[in-house]
Chains A and B, each alone.
Chain A
Amino acid sequence: MSRPAAIVFDQASIAYGRVPALEQVHGTVRRGEIVALVGPNGAGKSTLIKALLGLVPVASGSITVLGQAPAQARRLVAYVPQADTLDPDFPISVAQVVLMGRYRRIGWLRPPGRADRDAAAEALAAVGLAHRAADRFGTLSGGQRQRVLLARAIAAQPEALLLDEPFNGVDAVSQEALLDTIKTLAAGGAAVVVSTHDLGLAQLTCDGICLLNRHQFGFGPPADVLTPDLLRAAYGGAALELGDRGLIVARS
């Protein structure tokens, strides 16, 4: 009983101008699945996510998101960016930021309604920050901001959720809460793609792994991809091994 495919990579290569950044990505993310993008710095994780949004073009091969070209599927997709580039002085409340997730659903020229506010409030509660709704966004800590941005993505009720290292600077307890929220969303039928440096997390919580370093080293269930051989190949011979309980550890 395999679920319908949400994201399909078909021998996709992505380039910035003429410089290739990532080559030969091939695989499928199904609805309800959480797939982790892993690989060393500069591997092309952020690049792949931007390609899924149609922000960088596919040079050869193809990427299909929810049956459409990436740029066409944008309104069904939500995204949490890697870097915190937002203006901390911006006069905007936490609740307003989360409400932004609803804008595409509300449409042009119409103000947000009751249902939108409720959805936003619910999403904010899900990341455990309901009590900060009225505060200015810039007054939050880095990890709290990250959680608000995730709430915004959830409020959009997307069919595909793209997260670029969403757990950076998030404490362990909040991380668990965020993971639960993401899992709930996936259980509701959304496809989730999350890039991360935390191999243990990827191994334990994800249905699939895409191992990258400028090209694809593996795409499939964690047990098939997170093997010492593949990891060593992708990370350039660094001593990554499977520890006692099947968890990955780095040895020097």
Chain B
Amino acid sequence: MIDILVTPFDRPYMTRALVEALLLGALCGAVGVYVLLRRLAFLTDAVTHTVFPGVVVGFLVSGRSGIVPGALVCAVAAAALFTAIAATRRVNEDATLAVLLTAFFAVGVILISRQHSYTADLTAFLFGHVLTIDTTDIVVTAAVTVLAGLVLLGLGKELLLRAFDPEWARATGYRITALDLVSNMLIALVVVASVQAVGTVLVIAMLVVPAAAARLLSERLGVIVAVAVLVGMVGAWLGLATSYEASVGHDLRLAAGATIVLVLVAFYALVTLGQATRRLVRR
């Protein structure tokens, strides 16, 4: 059993994948708690989709090395746009997000539909490929993780205040829009860092599922953050190992990114089930 969890990672490409996945697990777990508190899951989803045209353009311009810069430009633009829209407060915010996210995505689809290798490229962008991650990707992710750590430590109490009671925050002189810009940019960076490994669509899972599971287990913020980081990392590890074992040991090819997410969702389901049965038993 221990073998299954350790031996796969002897291979260099698996080691790289593991390092990347662990970093992402920790990063997404921590930032995800803020996403959960602010109920920004939809905004995150919107950022992941808006990154798509950037990924496509970056790839068309300079191949694989263009993906991260392309994604970065789009993500930053999207984060700024969403912050501005939220600041005007004139419109139903989630409807605006829905329209914008699909519009950005549609631009990506239209761009890529002019290409020959349409379908193959599309799936790679959407689904990611953690197994072909290289050292640069890991450095990018590590940098984002350090930055996120600094922001969360430095501005933790202000972000918490803004999440809990924006009216009070504004009344005591904090600039909500500035704080929102910081957190939206952070989310955008996390999305960019995760795009190579898990693809545009599954980033949201890495961000939301560990935090949501941790919230089920505790009501204390400090505990929630710790548990979310832990769940994110363990889930990444187990997911990679499962995917490897399935394809090498049982000849069943399971996409690594998707398997990580399925492990996380399974954990969430287990916790929910456990709590439900406990309530039933107690009654």
Contacts and interface: CB of A to CB of B under 8 A. Distances in A.
A78 B172 contact: yes
Contact of A91 (B155, B157, B171, B220): B220
Given A111-B157, A136-B219, A74 B173 contact: yes
A100 B168 contact: yes
Interface stretch (A2-10, A102-110, A125-133, A244-252): A102-110
Given A74-B173, A103-B157, A93 B168 contact: no
A93 B157 CA distance: 14
B64 interface: no
B39 to A, nearest CB: 8
Interface in A95-127: 96-97, 100, 103-104, 106, 108-109, 111-112
Contacts of B164: 86-87, 90, 92, 97, 100
A104 B224 contact: no
A151 interface: no
Nearest to B214: A91
Interface in B155-192: 155, 157-158, 160-161, 163-165, 167-168, 170-173
Interface string B195-225: 0000000000000000000010011110010
B249 interface: no
Interface in A126-169: 136, 152, 156
A75 B167 contact: no
Interface residues of A, number: 29
Contacts of A55: 170-171
A138 B242 CA distance: 40
B187 to A, nearest CB: 19
B40 interface: no
Given A103-B158, A111-B157, A77 B172 contact: yes
Nearest to B170: A55
A108 B158 contact: yes
B154 interface: yes
B80 interface: no
A74 B167 contact: no
Contacts of A81: 167-168, 171
Interface string B138-166: 00000000000000001101101101110
B171 A53 contact: yes
Given A86-B164, A91-B221, A103 B172 contact: yes
Contacts of B157: 100, 103, 106, 111-112
B172 A91 contact: no
Contacts of B160: 92, 96, 100
B168 A108 contact: no
Contact of A75 (B168, B172, B215): B172
A90 B37 contact: yes
Nearest to A138: B219
B155 A156 contact: no
Contacts of B158: 103, 108
Interface of A: 53, 55, 71, 74-75, 77-79, 81, 85-87, 90-93, 96-97, 100, 103-104, 106, 108-109, 111-112, 136, 152, 156
Interface of B: 37, 154-155, 157-158, 160-161, 163-165, 167-168, 170-173, 215, 218-221, 224
Given A100-B161, A108-B154, A108-B158, 16 more contacts: A53-B171, A55-B170, A74-B171, A78-B171, A78-B172, A81-B167, A86-B164, A91-B218, A91-B219, A91-B220, A93-B220, A96-B160, A100-B164, A100-B168, A109-B155, A156-B172
Q: Which 7 A-B pairs have the closest CB atoms?
A: A74-B173, A79-B171, A75-B173, A109-B154, A53-B171, A91-B219, A104-B172
11 contacts: A53-B171, A75-B172, A75-B173, A81-B168, A91-B224, A92-B160, A103-B157, A104-B173, A108-B155, A112-B157, A152-B168
